[in-house]
Amino acid sequence: MTLTDRYVAATLRRVPAAQHADLEPELRASVTDAIEAKVEAGADPDRAETEVLNDLGDPDRLAADLADRPLHLIGPAYYLDWLRLLRLLLWVSLVPGAIVLTTGLVEGDAVGSAIWSGVWTAANVALQIAFWTTLVFVLLERYGDPRGPEDLTGGPWTVDRLPAERAPRAVSLVDTVVSVGLLALVAAALLLQRTVSWFHEPDGTAIPVLHPDMWPTWTLALLAVVAVDVVLTILTYVRGRWTVGLAVVNTVTAVLFAGVVVWLASVDRLVNPAFLEASGGDSLTWLPNVVIAGTVVIAAWDVVDVWVKALRDRRA
């Protein structure tokens, strides 16, 4: 096996098999032409082959170029948007951390324990925010619409590379941060209600707000929908507006979340009976109906509002 054979094999190893039939002949022809040019100029054939392959460089990098596959998680086209959004979103993690800290102090926990619980909660929320935000931008980097050659071409900058005038964003950074913050609070409430409560058993154990049967299946299902909503919110910010496709996804997540909550409330499996008893007993029998009505109204408002924005932006 020649050096060229080994180089081609190493390159194709990193390229999807479906592209081998097209890329291998092109790569071999390119190498052969370069070698022949050096030989005609008087170079030794073996030395010419080595020099040509050295000039081509790392076969893994060449494979990435041939397959149009980026070697970075987030490139220059999206990096600044990612950094700007992430910096603001990370402030959201302080809210659930502060809630846990305050609750611990009010309930009489040791100061050190309350601080640790607050810091731990904030750190976990920050980690989730960083993960999902980065994941959205990584997917956009690989599968999203390119930002245009003016964002990625090298060479000295000139005024000719100024981007065309863009319409104002329909989705602002502030709206995005507020939306993600509210979703983070929902996720924190779903998780923390099992250990942070207004009422406690005689042994000091917190009485969860939600029905014990919700854990883990239904709680994790609701958290999954919240996670999708976070990704959807970030993706909408990157796009700059609501599209019909994003509105469809938003409708699905709203229906799923509302459907689960309404069904659980209708069969008395949403609110913990022990919590109801501790907080007022029969005087709160109206709570499930209020939860059902409130959930339906909020979900319907969200779906209609997003569709109005998507159709309006589509006509613009």
Residues 186, 46 within the same domain: no
- Number of domains into which the chain is organized: 2
Structure tokens at 201: 């058993």
Q: Average the pLDDT over each of 14-23, 103-112, 295-304 and give the range with the smallest value.
A: 103-112
Cα separation of the two ends of the chain: 61
Whether cis (ω within 30° of 0) applies to the bond prior to 16 is no
Range of the domain at 36: 3-66
In a domain, 72, yes or no: no
**DSSP reduced 3-state for 206:** strand
Q: Average the pLDDT over each of 14-28, 89-103, 155-169, 254-268 and give the range with the smallest value.
A: 155-169
Q: How far apart are CA 311 and CA 226, in angstroms?
A: 24
Q: How far apart are CA 233 and CA 92, in angstroms?
A: 14
Residues 278, 210 within the same domain: yes
Residues 59, 89 within the same domain: no
Q: Average the pLDDT over each of 74-88, 140-154, 232-246, 278-292 and give the range with the smallest value.
A: 140-154
Taking all residues of the chain, what is their mean pLDDT, rounded to a whole number?
84
Q: How far apart are CA 188 and CA 200, in angstroms?
A: 19
- Whether the per-residue pLDDT at 118 is higher than 70: the answer is yes
Q: How far apart are CA 7 and CA 52, in angstroms?
A: 11
Q: How far apart are CA 46 and CA 51, in angstroms?
A: 9
- Average pLDDT over every residue of 63-74: 79
Residues 56, 104 within the same domain: no
pLDDT, position 162: 58
- Whether the per-residue pLDDT at 150 is higher than 50: the answer is no
Domain boundary among 43, 66, 89: 66
Residues 60, 83 within the same domain: no
In a domain, 162, yes or no: no
In a domain, 98, yes or no: yes
Q: Provide the whole-model pTM.
A: 0.65
Model confidence at 91, pLDDT cuts 50, 70, 90, reads: confident
Residues 257, 116 within the same domain: yes
pLDDT, position 41: 87
pLDDT, position 105: 79
Domain boundary among 66, 89, 104: 66
Find the helix or strand (DSSP H, E) in which 117 lies.
helix 111-143
Q: How far apart are CA 7 and CA 67, in angstroms?
A: 16
Residues 266, 222 within the same domain: yes
Residues 176, 199 within the same domain: yes
Model confidence at 157, pLDDT cuts 50, 70, 90, reads: low
Residues 286, 258 within the same domain: yes
Residues 198, 296 within the same domain: yes
Model confidence at 148, pLDDT cuts 50, 70, 90, reads: very low
In a domain, 158, yes or no: no
- Average pLDDT over every residue of 192-202: 82
Residues 144, 254 within the same domain: yes
In a domain, 40, yes or no: yes
pLDDT, position 152: 39
Residues 203, 179 within the same domain: yes
- Whether the per-residue pLDDT at 284 is higher than 50: the answer is yes
In a domain, 38, yes or no: yes
Q: How far apart are CA 21 and CA 82, in angstroms?
A: 37
- Whether the per-residue pLDDT at 62 is higher than 70: the answer is yes
Backbone dihedral region of 230: left (phi > 0), alpha (psi from -120 to 50 degrees) or beta? alpha
Backbone dihedral region of 315: left (phi > 0), alpha (psi from -120 to 50 degrees) or beta? alpha
In a domain, 146, yes or no: yes
pLDDT, position 153: 39
In a domain, 188, yes or no: yes
Beta bridge mates, 210: 271
Specify the amino acid at residue 106: V
pLDDT, position 156: 60
Domain boundary among 66, 88, 103: 66
- Whether the per-residue pLDDT at 154 is higher than 50: the answer is no
